[in-house]
Amino acid sequence: MKSEAEFISRLLSANQKEEAFKKLLELYQKRLYWHIRKLVITHENANDVLQNTFLRVYKSLPNFQQKSSLSTWMFRIAYNESLRFLEQEKKYHYSVDDIQKKYLDNLVSDSYFEGDEIQLKLHRILAELPEKDRQIFQMKYYDDLKFREISEITGIHEGTIKTYYYKIVTSIEKNMLNVELLVKN
């Protein structure tokens, strides 16, 4: 891909929009899926939210003001779509904690999960974190976003994000020895 500005102009061009959007999907679909998946937990929900995210991106491209990078803007849309979805789930009496518990129970018995004991402990610790802390940690640790990008996505001041992240890491390190695994045989 050439410069981001050129790519954005292709996305906004009437005769190049479809081809450019296919390229956008190719470039970002997997990263956004995993970003969303960590927020909404299940594959089915992540697919629904991802579809809504790309619909919103497509419709909102003419309004993109380029105050941030294209990827940060799309991550923010994905984040907001995920929060919107989670709010809807709360209306139907599904809590993130219930979904998280079910996810952890299934993770242990999932034949596709190739993680070791340490990864299982990390997932268990993350499940116990407050939702906002878990989101910040996952964006930094798994999505490898910069603190500035996380700040732009969440709307939380960058210094606050750094403080949260380092407190979370310290908490995780302390808890790694104390977490019990509920391994099913």
- 120-137 pLDDT tens trace: 778 788 888 888 999 999
Name 130's Cβ contacts closer than 8 Å, sequence gap at least 6: none
Give the model's pLDDT for residue 89: 80
The residue ranking higher by pLDDT, 74 or 185, is 74
Average pLDDT value for the chain: 85
Of the candidates 57, 11, 18, 53, which has an alpha carbon nearest to the alpha carbon of residue 32? 53
Give the model's pLDDT for residue 2: 62
Give the model's pLDDT for residue 115: 62
Q: What is the CATH number of the domain that holds 100?
A: 1.10.10.10
Q: Is the pLDDT of residue 77 over 60?
A: yes
Domain end (from 69, 94, 119): 94
- If asked whether residues 17 and 82 sit together in one domain, one would say yes
Over residues 156-182, the pLDDT tens digits come to 999 999 999 999 999 988 888 776 654
The number of residues making up the chain comes to 185
- If asked whether residues 103 and 88 sit together in one domain, one would say no
Give the model's pLDDT for residue 129: 86
Q: Is the pLDDT of residue 96 over 80?
A: no
- If asked whether residues 116 and 153 sit together in one domain, one would say yes
Amino acid identity of residue 114, one-letter, is E
Percent of the chain with pLDDT over 90: 56
- If asked whether residues 26 and 85 sit together in one domain, one would say yes
- If asked whether residues 122 and 65 sit together in one domain, one would say no
Domain end (from 94, 119, 152): 94
